[in-house]
Each structure stands twice: as structure tokens, then as C-alpha cells.
Chains A and B, each alone.
Chain A
Amino acid sequence: MGKRVGMEVSIAAAEAVGLCDVDVIAAYPITPQTHIVEHLSELVADGHLDAEFIPVESEHSAMSTCVGSAAAGARTFTSTASQGYALMAEICYIASSMRLPIVMAVANRALSAPINIWNDHSDMMMARDTGWIQTVAENGQEVVDLIIHAFRVAEDHRVLLPVMVNLDGFILTHMIEPIILPDKEEVDRYLPPYKPKMRLDPQNPLTFGPVGMPEVYTEAKKAQDEALKGSKAVIVEAWREFEKQFGRSYKPVETYKADDAEIIILTMGSISETAMTAVDKMRAAGQKVGLVRLRLWRPFPAEELIDALKGAKALAVVDRSLPFSGGCGPVCVEVKSALFDRGLSPYVQNFLAGLGGRDVTVEDFEAMAAKVSDGLAKGLPMGYEIMNVRE
């Protein structure tokens, strides 16, 4: 049943990609990059992984290479972060529109300026509308598991979409912690060999990504939107199968002591573990506080979220990137939209925390809960607040 090892999470991510028998890895090895592709290049160079490692001249080229590789029918992986993602963004839209099952790990980091290589969610939020499936890990084990899951979902003929596995930069990528690395045979049982539905083949010529005139563009985009929405059922099914095979359970929306909670904190990513400790502390003090965490960011699991939030009087929604004058951060926008569509109107306050590597502490979550409790009681205006700003 796998072996428990102490390992840097980036190295474990690379090992997971190796266990998935990836065919092609294309990557640009410069800051901001992580040990993920560095270790993959070692695995290939040392003969432990039978794959093509293609070092390219930019992140734009990395994703372009992935598009070509996946279109040719190869199981394809890459990894990036922050500015690197920004440069590859153009091609990311093409990858999803061409329905190419690429898997990419994104070590979530801030965008410049000021130059900042530390953790927040600016890069994954820039990817929000690219049409990729996006999952989010809270710890190293989840990074490994979600990468294995990602290949299975992406390549399912009912899906055929690229998947982005998000892991917090530094906080997870540079962390050594215990991780269970599954056995190769277990992964083989879970992840069948990739059988492309359509592929570039000189013997059977096909056109990928041709011009879409106004007469067809809308229909093409509707089909893509339906595909992304429809992928949720397959994502959930693949998690159920994952639990049967590996014994670890995943859901689009995860809850912690949320059933009877009057105040719910909503998080995404590695700060969720700190939030659990904060919830335990507040519960011990008699406060009915719970935690809801988004595991799936795209397709957005609105139904599951509402199911988890119903009953709460006040919500503290945490965002890790700025809305720059919008009503609230991107996570909170989705939360409010899901509530409004169903005629629900709890008190919602949006907290922008952990920007550019600023630590998010147990005390911060306690402060958020206190603020929404106070805001609810006094009927204070809702909106967003940037936490812990030095005045």
C-alpha cells in the first residue's frame, strides 16, 4: 500500500508524475520554477523514467510544446508558477479549446510588481477563465494524489480537458513532510494507458484548432463550456475510485466541523490546515465556527458549496489575490453568486490574506471570525478587507 517517506513536496510531485508513466515533459528551468521539473529531468537523465524531457526557451514554448505533444497522443506534463504562467497563458486557452489532456502543476505564487516570488493565488486566478479544470492541494499527500487523479480525469473521453493541480509555492513546494508514495502497480491499476480519442497522425490527417468564424465560434465555446461543466461528474467518480484504490477520500468541497456552524470560514489551499487549528481553538471556547474548503476551483462546485454553507449565518471568505476595486475577490465572487442564485443572503465578508508570502496565522482566522460575528450583529457593510496592512 505504498511507502511512507519524508520528502520535499516538489520531489514527491515529480515522483507522482513518474508513477503515471508520462511520455513528454516540456519545461523552462528558470525562476520561478520548482524542483518538480528539475527532479523529473533527473529521473529521465538517470534512466528511471522513459520519457522525453524537452527543455524549451520560454514558458510560452513549454505550453506550445505540450499542445503539440498532447495533440500527437502523448501523455504530457509541465509545471510553472507566477510570471512563468503569465507568459504561457496565451497557449493555455488553446490547450483547453483543443481539448488536450495536459496535466500541469502550478506552484502558486504572486505576480510582479513589486517583484515577488512568494506564495499567493494570483497566478491560478489569472487562469480562472482559461477553461482548464483546476484542483487545489492542502498538503504534500494531496499534491501526489491530485496529480495521479488529474491524468485519469483529463484523459477520460467524457472529459478531454487539461487539468491544473495547484499547490502553494514555498509553503508546500519547499516543505519536507511525510508522504505516502503509492506503488507503481497501484497507480497502473488506477490509471489506464492513455488512449487518445483523436490525434495528429500523418496516415489519418486531422485539423486541430482551425479558424472559427462567427457562425461557429459561439457553438464551439458552448460545447467547451458544457464539457467543463460535465467534467465534474467524472472528477467526482475518479475520486471515488481513488478512495477505493488508495483509501484517501476527496470531494469538490471539503468541510471541517461545519455541520452546526453559525460562522463558516471558507478557504482554498494550504492555509486550510492552519484554519482547522483555529476552528478547534474557537470550538474549545464555545464558538460555533466551522470550515469549508474548496478542493475543486474549476468547474466551480456551486451545488456542493451551497450544501456545505447552508445554515450558516455569517461567512468569512478568504481570497489570496486582489480584485482591484471589484466587489470582492474571485473566490468570494463565486460564493456570493452561488448564494444569490438560490435566494440565500447570509452575512459575507471577504478577507484578502496571505498576499505575496505574508503569513496567515491561527490568530488571523480568529480575527476573521470575530469580525464577521461583529459585522452580522451590527449590520456592518459587506465588502473586502486586505488583512494585516501596516499603516
Chain B
Amino acid sequence: MVEIRFHGRGGQGGVTSAELTALAAIEEGKYAQAFPSFGPERRGAPVMAFVRVSDQQILTREKVYTPNIVVVLDPTLLTIVDVQAGVPDDGIIVVNTKLSAEELRKATGINRRLAVVDASTIAIETLRVPITNTTMLGALIKATGIISVDALRGPVQKRFGPIAEKNLQACLRAFEETVVEG
């Protein structure tokens, strides 16, 4: 079983990222759970959302404490949230940042494997809004292969309707541009 934690700010689509990941995994015939960090929702405040993906039925309702994968939708969270909390040594952190992995490591002290992409720029150029949820899914897929872009098409279409195609473009461009540490 793989566990994922998304860090975003209220309104950026972290919860949507989690939902789309789970829906894509379920589309592929896997088992998955997606859930927000339960509580009052405030625009702009740091929020988290969680996903579990497994080939077997998932028999736990615990919170996610030790995610194998962390996705950071907003670079400004890196200085105020410990994004690698609970991540095992072989975990990976996928970050929306203009920095290289090496620069990011120096700036934050993160000592897990990194994948980096400038998702904010891609989102602004492709979607005209700084909402990085679908863009960061491209980075997640490149870094981990936890789901396929094909499985994401249906859920994205259902969720975004007329702007689904642009969201998929942003996702694919992020997939191309994400740099994953070896």
C-alpha cells in the first residue's frame, strides 16, 4: 500500500488532487481512499489531503502518519510546514518550486529524494490561474508512476468539464518538465 500526503493552501485544490488521484487509481481497478484533513476549511490556510492506493482492499481508517509520497502544491509552505514529517527514508517529496532539487535541499534541509517542477508557471501559462492541482498530478505521475495519465482523463473530464482539456495539458507539461532525483 502506498500513502500520499498533499500539502496546499485552502482553495488551491489539494483536496481535488487527492480525489483525482484516488479516482484514477480506482479507474485502474485498484483500491484507494482519498480524504481531506477534517476540519474548518479556510481559503489560504495550510491544508492537507491524503490518499491510499493498494492492489488489495484497504483495511484501515487511521489517519496517514508515514506517507511514502508527499506532494507540495505551494512553495511558500516549505518554510512554515514540516513537509517531510513522518516520511520514511526511501520516501519522495514532489515540490512545486522554481529551484533545482539541489537548491531546494540547501534552502529547506529536506533530506528525502526530491522531484521538482515549476508548477505555478505552468498553471499560469496554461490555465491562467495559479491553481496547481492538476499540474502537480503530472509531477506526481512522473516521479512515482502511482497512476497513469490515461486513468486520470475520465475523472478530470468529469470534474472540470469545459476546462478539462487545459488541465490535462498542464498535467502533461508538468510530466515532461518534472526533474526527478535518481
Q: Which residues of A contact B (CB under 8 A)?
A: 4-6, 118, 168, 170-171, 174-178, 270-271, 273-274, 276-277, 357, 359-362
Contact = CB atoms under 8 A, between A and B. Distances in A.
B33 A271 contact: no
B38 A174 contact: yes
A6 B23 contact: yes
B26 A277 contact: no
B35 A6 contact: no
B35 A175 contact: yes
A273 B33 contact: no
Contacts of B59: 273-274, 276-277
Given A6-B155, A362-B62, A178 B35 contact: no
A157 to B, nearest CB: 38
Contacts of A277: 59-60
B63 interface: yes
A77 to B, nearest CB: 25
Contacts of A178: 26, 31-32
A277 B36 CA distance: 22
A94 B133 CA distance: 49
Given A177-B32, A357-B38, A6 B61 contact: no
Given A6-B27, A6-B32, A170-B38, A177 B22 contact: yes
B63 A359 contact: yes
Contact of A174 (B26, B35, B58, B63): B35
17 contacts: A6-B23, A6-B27, A118-B39, A175-B34, A175-B35, A176-B18, A176-B33, A176-B35, A177-B26, A177-B31, A177-B33, A178-B32, A270-B61, A274-B59, A274-B62, A360-B62, A362-B62
Nearest to A5: B26
B74 interface: no
Interface residues of B, number: 22
B60 A273 contact: yes
B3 interface: no
A6 B36 contact: no
A289 to B, nearest CB: 15
B19 to A, nearest CB: 5
Leading 4 A-B pairs by shortest Cβ distance:
A6-B26, A176-B34, A6-B23, A170-B38
A178 B53 CA distance: 11
B30 to A, nearest CB: 8
Given A6-B155, A176-B35, A177-B32, 9 more contacts: A168-B61, A171-B61, A174-B35, A176-B23, A176-B32, A274-B60, A359-B63, A360-B61, A360-B62
Nearest to A179: B26
Contacts of B38: 118, 170, 174, 357
A274 B34 CA distance: 16
Nearest to B35: A175
A289 B153 CA distance: 44
Contacts of B34: 175-177
A265 B27 CA distance: 35
B35 A4 contact: no
A349 B60 CA distance: 23
A83 to B, nearest CB: 16
A361 B23 CA distance: 25
A98 B46 CA distance: 50
Nearest to A361: B62
Interface in B31-90: 31-36, 38-39, 58-63
Given A118-B38, A170-B38, A176 B62 contact: no
A277 B32 CA distance: 16
B35 to A, nearest CB: 5
B61 A274 contact: yes
A4 B61 contact: no
A271 B62 CA distance: 8
Interface in B1-42: 18-19, 22-23, 25-27, 31-36, 38-39
Contacts of A176: 18-19, 22-23, 32-35
Given A174-B36, A176-B33, A357-B38, A6 B62 contact: no
A4 B57 CA distance: 14
Contacts of A361: 62
Contacts of B35: 170-171, 174-176
A176 B34 CA distance: 5
B28 to A, nearest CB: 10
Nearest to B33: A177
A117 B26 CA distance: 29
A174 B18 CA distance: 12
Contacts of A174: 35-36, 38
Contact of A273 (B23, B32, B61): B61
A66 B53 CA distance: 40
Contacts of B60: 273-274, 277, 362
Contacts of A357: 38
Contacts of A4: 26
B33 A359 contact: no
B33 A175 contact: yes
A277 B61 CA distance: 10
Contacts of B22: 6, 176-177
A178 B155 CA distance: 13
Contacts of B25: 6
